[in-house]
């Protein structure tokens, strides 16, 4: 399994513990040292993930959690990933959801716009189309996973407290939670949550 942008390594470690042989591609040197030196997961430290992907062997799973929106050519990332997958292999992608209730209401004020860190926001239907063109079939799509719920709350917090600090006033956190509860019937139906996860399988 290959993971793009492993960050603190939480998913890579979970995948390793589930029996996968994991290779992580990560640009943060400290994260790579932790994965490679302390956790025992092969980590490639690089800011050019496509070059490194091309040098690796084939994989049964390629995962990228909130990575694609940071890369300058997401279509090429999907094409290259499809080439590296074995037949029947899975590409797992999570990105901010442009079909979300929050984006429709907040537009440029939406936390997940996050320019210039986020170079692009790609609608789920466009991701599925890029996958089809690369020989991948979308087999699952959801906004109702733990990451999606966390992104829902984060979006409401930042809508009420736009200051880029780690400390959020208690009153703001409580108000954001109330917004999250009130919006849940809409955000948890019709793929309207703040983040969307797609699983795409390579055709045999």
Can you tell me the mean pLDDT for 82-103?
97
pLDDT recorded at residue 51: 87
> What confidence tens digit (pLDDT) does each residue in 190-203 have?
999 999 999 999 98
Tokens for 199? Answer: 């699983």
Pairing of strands 23-26, 42-45: parallel
| pLDDT band at residue 162 using 50, 70 and 90 as cut-offs | confident
**Residue 32 clears pLDDT 80, i.e. is over it:** yes
pLDDT recorded at residue 100: 98
pLDDT recorded at residue 182: 97
What residues does each domain of the chain span?
58-202
Q: Give me the residues paired with residue 92 across strands.
A: 63, 199
pLDDT recorded at residue 49: 81
Give phi and psi for 85, each to the nearest 5: -75, 145
pLDDT recorded at residue 166: 74
| pLDDT band at residue 53 using 50, 70 and 90 as cut-offs | confident
Residues 6+ positions from 96 with CB-CB distance below 8 Å: 66, 69, 103, 112, 113, 114, 118, 121, 151, 194, 195, 196
Pairing of strands 59-65, 23-26: unpaired
Can you tell me the mean pLDDT for 132-151?
97
**Residue 118 clears pLDDT 80, i.e. is over it:** yes
CATH superfamily ID and name for 58-202: Vaccinia Virus protein VP39 (3.40.50.150)
DSSP letters for 4-46: E--TTSHHHHHHHHTT---EEEES-HHHHHIIIIII--EEEE-
């Amino acid at each position: 399994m290959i993971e793009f942008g492993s960050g603190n390594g939480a998913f890579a470690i979970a995948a390793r513990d589930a029996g996968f042989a994991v290779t992580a591609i990560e640009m943060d040197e400290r994260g790579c040292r932790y994965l490679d030196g302390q956790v025992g997961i092969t980590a490639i430290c690089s800011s050019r993930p496509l070059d490194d992907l091309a040098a690796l062997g084939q994989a049964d799973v390629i995962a990228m959690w909130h990575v694609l929106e940071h890369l300058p050519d997401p279509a090429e990332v999907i094409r290259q990933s499809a080439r590296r997958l074995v037949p029947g292999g899975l590409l797992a992608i999570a990105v901010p959801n442009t079909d979300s209730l929050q984006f429709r209401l907040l537009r440029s004020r939406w936390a997940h716009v996050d320019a210039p860190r986020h170079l692009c926001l790609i609608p789920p239907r466009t991701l599925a189309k890029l996958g089809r063109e690369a020989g991948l079939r979308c087999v699952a799509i959801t906004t109702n996973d733990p990451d999606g719920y966390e992104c829902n709350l984060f979006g409401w917090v930042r809508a009420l407290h736009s200051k880029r600090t780690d400390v959020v006033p208690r009153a703001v956190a409580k108000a954001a939670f109330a917004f999250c509860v009130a919006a849940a019937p809409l955000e948890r139906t019709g793929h309207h949550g703040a983040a969307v996860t797609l699983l795409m399988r390579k055709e045999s």
